[in-house]
Amino acid sequence: MGERKVTVTSEVGLHARPAATFVQTAAKAAFDVTVAKAGGKPVNAKSILSVLALDVRQNESIVIEAEGEGADELLDRLAEIASAP
């Protein structure tokens, strides 16, 4: 299983537009993708409600996990979205 640890740098955290972009990107995958606050319980990264419920704020760390063909590329893209200012 692939994994990326990322610090969210956006002023709004992983909310609003960044969350929507994150979820839309994850939803394109044919395999399961999860996201969690560091040390927290993973949620479905394809669910906007689940991602918003994490309440990830600026400078908090998240862990994104996925397994399947193309997972590394997807994880890199999701990490890029989450760490964009």
Active-site residues, by number, are 15
Instruction: Give the residue among 60, 59, 65, 51 at the shortest CA–CA distance from 16.
Output: 51
Distant-in-sequence, close-in-space partners of 24: CB < 8 Å, separation ≥ 6: none
d(CA 59, CA 48): 20
